[in-house]
Structure 1
Amino acid sequence: MKLYADRVPTAVRQLITDLLVVLWVYLSIRVALWIHDVVLKLAVPGQKLESAGSGIADNLAEAGSKVGRVPVVGDDLTKPFTGAADAARSLADAGHQQQEWVDQLALILPLMALAVPLALVLFLWLPLRLRWIRRASVALAVRDEPAGRDLLALRALASRPLSELAKLGPDIAQSWRAGDAAAVDALAELELKRLGLRRSRV
């Protein structure tokens, strides 16, 4: 498997691109973690509200139970404490719900922040990189074989711009069809150069 080109300019470009992609993914993950931490801080008011509401509800319930022991009027005196305790529990529930919403946002927002960078890497950079690796590996496997060089020459004839082919001579296609070794080598070299590979193993 060929990961990088033989020719220095192409190899340097590939290496820099790979490093930039790794840096891009790393920074995207760091940003997503930062968003997660920032969003989680929004849960602090909910935590305080839940804690305060629960504490007030417990205190009111305890006070109501003590007041309820008063003979004759104990039940009547307990009702306001019970109502206030229920209201405090409602506040505690609201604080708990707010924390649940924040927890969901702390999961969704970082995923959304990661989605675009990772999609660019997975659907743009990675397919191009894998395609080059596959083509370069095949080219390496066939470049030193006569039939393989003929295939590389055919690939160059089919894919390279006419301006590049014309530089090899006006009758380059005819020479290739005739099996001219120099023409085949020139076309194969053109295709290898496009892939950033050398003519033969060093």
Structure 2
Amino acid sequence: MKIYADRFPRFLFQVVTDLLVIAWVYAWIRAALWLQDQVQKLGVPGQKLEGAGSALADNLADAGGKVGKVPLVGDQLTEPFGKAADAARAVAEAGQSQQDVVGNLALALAIITAVVPILFVLLLWLPLRVRWMRRAGAASRVRKSPAGRDLLALRALATQPLSKLAKLGPDVAESWRANDDSTVDALAALELRSLGLRQR
């Protein structure tokens, strides 16, 4: 499998394009992580609410336990402290729920921020890159085979633009049919050159 072209202009274009795609992906992942951090900051009030509610519930439960030791009326005095502790726990749970919502929102926004632009570029770049790699890999294998030169020449006749074929001579098809070595070599080289590969 060929990953990069042999010839300089195509090779440079491929390397620069690959680096730009990597930079694009990296930049959007960093942007998504930054956005997630910013949205997570909205959960700070929820953290404070949860901490305050939990501390208040613990203090009220502790106070209720101490008041419960008072003879005769201890049980009656404990009940309001228990209800207040339950209310404080509900506040702490509300703070935790708020943090969960903010955390889920932060994650969803980060995923959307990263996935949409990355997918957009990959869907444009990856099919073209894979297609070239397959074509170049096949051409590399063919050029090493005994009849590879002839097959590449035939492919050039079938797929290359007429303007490029005309530069090889007015009777390029006739010369190819006559198995003229220089014409076959020129056609094979044209096909390889169009893929950025060198003739071996």
> TM-score under structure 2 normalisation?
0.84
Identity of aligned residues (%): 64
Deviations 1:56-103 (A, max 9, x none): 112222223333444554444444333322221111001111222233
Look up the SS of the partner of 2:147 in the other structure.
helix
Give the distance between the partners of 2:186 and 2:78, measured in 1 at CA: 100
- Look up the match of 2:3: 3
- TM-superposed CA distance for 1:194, in Å, is 0.7
- Look up the match of 2:110: 110
- TM-superposed CA distance for 1:186, in Å, is 2.2
- Look up the match of 2:93: 93
Moved more, 189-198 or 168-177: 168-177
Deviations 1:122-171 (A, max 9, x none): 43323322332232233233335552112112222222223322333443
- Look up the match of 2:197: 197
Give the distance between the partners of 1:12 and 1:34, measured in 2 at CA: 32
CA RMSD of aligned residues (A): 2.5
- Look up the match of 1:130: 130
Look up the SS of the partner of 1:151 in the other structure.
helix
Query: Where does structure 2 lack aligned partners over 5 or more consecutive residues?
Result: none
- Look up the match of 1:150: 150
Deviations 1:155-197 (A, max 9, x none): 2222222332233344333332332333322221221111112
Moved more, 73-82 or 26-35: 73-82
- TM-superposed CA distance for 1:34, in Å, is 1.7
Give the distance between the partners of 2:169 and 2:87, measured in 1 at CA: 91
Query: Where does structure 1 lack aligned partners over 5 or more consecutive residues?
Result: none
- 1:15-164 pair list within 5 angstroms: 15-120=15-120, 122-143=122-143, 145=145, 147-164=147-164
- Structure 1: which amino acid aligns with 2:88? A
Given the superposition, is the C-alpha separation of residues 188 and 178 from structure 1 closer, same or farther in structure 2, using an over 3 Å criterion? same
- TM-superposed CA distance for 1:46, in Å, is 1.4
- Structure 1: which amino acid aligns with 2:168? L
- Structure 2: which amino acid aligns with 1:65? G
- 1:169-180 pair list within 5 angstroms: 169-180=169-180
Give the distance between the partners of 1:157 and 1:123, measured in 2 at CA: 31
Moved more, 39-48 or 113-122: 113-122
Give the distance between the partners of 1:27 and 1:169, measured in 2 at CA: 50
Conserved 8 A contact 2:24-2:118: no
Give the distance between the partners of 2:83 and 2:131, measured in 1 at CA: 70
